[in-house]
Chain A
Amino acid sequence: MSGFAPESSRVAEMVRVSPRQTEYLRDEREPNRFLVHRKVFTDDEILARERAQVFSKCWIYVGHESEIPKSGDFVAREVAGRPVLFTRNSDGEIRVLLNSCSHRGAEVCRERRGNQRRFRCFYHSWSFSNNGDLITMPDEAGFPEGFRKEDHALSRPEAVDSYRGFVFATFNPEQEPLADYLADAKYYLDLTADQAPGEAGMIATAGTHEYSMRSNWKLLAENSSDGYHAIPVHKTYLDVQRSRGDDIAGSTEKDWKESHAFDLGNGHTVTVKQAPWGRPVARWVPSMGEHTKEIVAQNKRRLVDSYGDERADMIANLDFNMLIFPNLVINNIMAIIIRTFYPNAPGHMNVTAWSLAPGDETEEARRVRNESFLSFLGPAGLATPDDNEALESCQRGYEARPGEGWSDVSRGMDKAEPANWDELQMRTFWRHWDDLMGEKE
Chain B
Amino acid sequence: MTFRYPEDQQVRSSHVERPVVEDFLYYEAQLLDAWKLEEWRDLFTPDGHYVVPSTDNPDGDLAMDLALIDDDEEGRRGRVQRLMSTYAHIENPRSRTRRAVSNVRLWDHESGDLGVRCTVVVYRSRVPGTTSYVADVHYRLRPDGDSFKIAFKHAMLDHHTLRDVGGVLSIIL
Contact = CB atoms under 8 A, between A and B. Distances in A.
Decide if A and B are genuine partners. yes
Interface of A: 112, 205-214, 233, 235-237, 239-240, 243-244, 289, 350, 354-355, 363, 366-367, 370-371, 373-375, 378-380, 382, 384-386, 388-390, 392, 396
Contact of A206 (B60, B75, B89, B161): B60
Contact of B66 (A205, A214, A350): A205
**Interface residues of B: mostly helix, strand, loop or mixed?**
loop
Interface residues of B, number: 37
B68 A378 contact: yes
Contacts of B78: 240, 243-244, 375, 382
Q: Which of the listed residues A239, A386, A392, A396 has the most CB atoms from chain B within 10 Å of its own CB?
A: A386
B168 A379 contact: yes
A328 B128 CA distance: 29
Contacts of A112: 56, 160
A289 B81 CA distance: 18
Interface stretch (B14-22, B27-35, B47-55, B109-117): B47-55
Interface of B: 52-57, 60-61, 63-70, 72, 74-75, 78-79, 81-82, 85, 87-90, 128, 160-163, 167-170
A210 B162 contact: yes
16 contacts: A205-B65, A206-B64, A207-B67, A211-B167, A235-B85, A237-B82, A240-B82, A363-B64, A370-B67, A371-B75, A379-B162, A379-B168, A380-B168, A380-B169, A382-B79, A385-B168
A379 B60 CA distance: 18
Nearest to A235: B87
B90 A389 contact: yes
A366 B89 contact: no
Contacts of B170: 380, 385, 388
A373 B65 CA distance: 12
Q: Which of the listed residues A212, A371, A375, A396 has the most CB atoms from chain B within 10 Å of its own CB?
A: A212
Contacts of A350: 161, 163
Nearest to B91: A385
